[in-house]
Amino acid sequence: MRTKAGRPAMGAGNVERPLRILLADDHVLVREGTRQILEREPDMEVVAEANDGRETVMLVERERPDVAIVDISMPVMNGIEATKEIKRISPKTAVLVLTAYDDDQYVFAILEAGAAGYLLKNARGSVLIDAVRRVHEGESVLHPAIASKLVRRVRQEEASSSDVGGTEALTEREMDVLRLAAKGLSNREIADELVVSPRTVQSHMANIFNKLQVGSRTEAVMVGLRKGWIELEETA
């Protein structure tokens, strides 16, 4: 277990603080390499490191990081169970999966547990840095191979289900936001498209999450696809 006190705010008169990040991986070399990549960025700070899933949950409860970067395969408690606990005790902590595993059973289980992003360990450092910022902003980030798996699964579910539901749970504007999110647009891009502020988009996304009882964009889009609110062609 490793933690460290927060830094002072960046720059004179700048009230912004770095993104507080927790690393959870049972391989020390992986954590050290990830820390070095992230802490080159002035807006990022690794505040804690965990060796196993149980320690991860304990540190999240204590540190309340903005983002937890979690491996799936960890001793004591795996990343899937740890993610469920993280979202229960600290809903505002975004979980970004960084793993070598892309098996369907792991992918869907951890996304359903509330992970906002899923990257494979062969991702470039720049991709990881961008993903940390994006999941903190409430966006979803999926490795292309994982996104393909997700689309295939939704197609299979659509083929075996006639439940198309209604859209009474979401307002017209919330549906607009969900459809644009399904296309992979960032909050800022959605804001530009709808001619509103990014903060307004964040508010709409929060309402969507609450109404659909989901914890990430990925889950929200999956619900929209399953219910027939969004067509697969709209995600292209």
Helix axes 187-194, 198-212, angle to 10 degrees: 110
Domains 2-148 and 163-235 are alike in CATH topology: no
Hey, which CATH number is domain 2-148, 3.40.50.2300, 3.30.870.10, 3.20.10.10, 3.40.50.300? 3.40.50.2300
Amino acid identity of 120?
A: L
Sign of the Cα torsion 210, 213, 218, 222 reads negative
Dihedral angle computed from the Cα positions of residues 138, 46, 6 and 60, in that order, rounded to the nearest 10 degrees:
60
pTM of the predicted structure, to 2 decimals: 0.69
Please state, in angstroms and rounded to a whole number, the distance separating the CA atoms of residues 26 and 37. 18
Token couple for 90: 């600290």
State the CB neighbour count (10 A cutoff) for residue 35. Answer: 18
CA distances from 30 to 83, 98, 99, 162 (A): 19, 10, 10, 45
- Is 196 exposed, middle or buried (CB count within 10 Å of its CB: 0-12, 13-18, 19+)? middle
Q: Which tokens belong to 112?
A: 């359903």
- Domain extents for the chain? 2-148, 163-235
Q: 163-235: which CATH topology?
A: Arc Repressor Mutant, subunit A (1.10.10)
pLDDT per residue as tens, the chain (236 positions): 655 544 444 443 444 788 999 999 999 999 999 999 999 999 999 999 999 999 999 999 999 999 999 999 999 999 999 999 999 999 889 999 999 887 777 888 888 888 888 898 988 999 999 999 988 888 878 776 666 666 666 555 555 554 544 445 788 899 898 888 887 788 888 899 999 998 898 888 888 888 887 777 777 887 787 777 776 554 44
